[in-house]
Amino acid sequence: MSKIKNIEGRPILDSRGDWTIEVSLALQDGVIAKAAIPQGKSRGSSEAIFLPPQKAIQKIKSLSKIFHGFDVFNQEKIDQTLIKLDGTRSKSKLGGNTTLGISLAAAKAAAKSKNVYLWKYFRDLSGLSIIPNSRPRLLANLVNGGLHAGNNLDFQEYLVIPKSQNFSSAIEKIVKIYNRLRDSLNEKFGPGSTSVGDEGGFAPDFKNNSEPFEMISLVLKNLKLSAEVNLGLDAAASNIKKISPDDLFGIYLNFINDFNFLFLEDLFNENDFKNFAKFKAEAKKNLWIVGDDLTTTNVSLIEKAEAAKAINAIVIKPNQIGTITETLEAIKKSRNYDWKVIVSHRSGETNDDFIADLAVGVGADGLKLGAPARGERIAKYNRLLEIESEK
């Protein structure tokens, strides 16, 4: 039977050596599924609360009795029960890590019990119409700055976004660029300049905020990939205090003019809908103006951003909202607005690779997965290669 038998939580370490939780959910038919929950360092103020792991584990222990006998295929009932039991906007009672751990473990157990791939289960669960053979574009963070590194860069993520018909080709390009960039950094800055930040990207000190893009662009030229790779930036501007919005505006326009840009995320403070809208109105139409801290995978904030005409793309992070059902609702709402949808990892990641399945399952336009380095990032790359053989 596909009924929930037991739910347990245990503490594990994330990629920064901080404690998080892993949830194990057992079914009466013998299926067991596990979900490990990531956490971010750069967080929007409207994100679901991350409860201290030991407290979350105690919550899970008490919730196990409540969910005993629930039909694991009724994801909406499981998630709505979690939402009702918590009763707060920010999941402050149970913790978003607690609720997502149970919600995701249930989805994984259901897919396993049905003997279907997780991406296929997410696709069926979402009810979204997916373009046949579509693939999310991969956004690889090759230079880390801001809160994700100990260097002098104000901006958080310098991204390459290859154009490819399949994952293996995209990953091959990313790896080539990453390795050549390592060589270039060693040549320019000397040995030891290629230590990496939280998401696997290189993190030396640069002369200014544009030099990483200058070096990446030169690498692309040397590899004859300039026409096959776009660039992107996650500014994480809520964490930038020393640059004014007007100055940020000018910096971004220069980036767009000087480099082959596609993607700009969190350009201004998370509450600055006005400047987001102003920039979107002025920028070229095919540029992805992306909300993350601005929207935090939250339907009410998504509606606010649409009303302000602030963005045309959104980052989706399930732990920002706390359940799979709410994550899918945020994706569907964004699709209704004709926004680009980008599923994303977190800086404090685990080896759980479910975001690869989620991105493929919902037909996302993009997947942010860090650099091709560090085991918790590589897990996502390798899962994409596996999915490619499953489709």
Is a pLDDT exceeding 80 seen at residue 142? yes
State the catalytic residue, choosing from 5, 112, 173, 317.
Answer: 317
As a whole number, mean pLDDT of residues 243-270 equals: 96
Task: Retrieve residue 45's tokens.
Answer: 């103020």
> Where does the pLDDT of residue 291 fall: very low under 50, low under 70, confident under 90, or very high at 90 and above?
very high
User: Would you say residue 5 has pLDDT above 80?
Assistant: yes
DSSP secondary structure of 215-257: HHHHHHHHTT-GGGEEEEEE--GGG--SS-HHHHHHHHHHHHH
Is a pLDDT exceeding 70 seen at residue 290?
yes
Q: Is 249 a residue whose pLDDT tops 80?
A: yes
Residue 157 designated active-site: no
Q: Which of 22, 47, 157, 199 does the annotation list as catalytic?
A: 199
pLDDT at 42 over 70: no
Using one digit for the tens of pLDDT, what is the confidence trace for 300-353? 999 999 999 999 999 999 999 999 999 999 999 999 999 999 999 999 999 999
pLDDT at 374 exceeding the cut of 70: yes
- At residue 43, the pLDDT reads 72
Give pLDDT, residue 93.
Answer: 97
> pLDDT, tens digit, for every residue of 151-179?
889 999 999 999 998 999 999 999 999 99
C-alpha span between 160 and 87 (Å, rounded):
40
Per-residue pLDDT band at 148 (split at 50, 70, 90): low
Q: What residue type is 182 in one-letter code?
A: R
pLDDT tens for residues 60-75? 999 999 999 999 999 9
Percent of the chain at pLDDT > 90 equals 89
Distance between CA atoms of 103 and 108, rounded to whole angstroms?
9
Please indicate whether residue 280 is annotated as part of the active site.
no
Domains of the chain: 4-115 (3.30.390.10), 126-390 (3.20.20.120)
- Residue 391 pLDDT exceeds 80: no
Q: How far apart are alpha carbons 250 and 76 in whole angstroms?
A: 45
Task: Note if the pTM is more than 0.85.
Answer: yes
Cβ(174)–Cβ(140) under 8 Å? yes
- Residue 180, CA distances (Å) to 177, 216, 219 in order: 5, 9, 7
Q: How many residues does the chain have?
A: 391
Q: How confident is the model at residue 147 (pLDDT cuts 50, 70, 90)?
A: confident
What average pLDDT is seen over the chain? 95
Query: Residues 6 or more apart from 225 whose CB is under 8 A from it?
Result: 162, 173, 176, 177
- Residue 195 — pLDDT band, cuts 50, 70, 90? confident
Between 136 and 46, name the one with better pLDDT. Answer: 136
- 167 Cβ neighbours under 8 A, 6+ residues apart: 135, 138, 384, 385, 387, 388
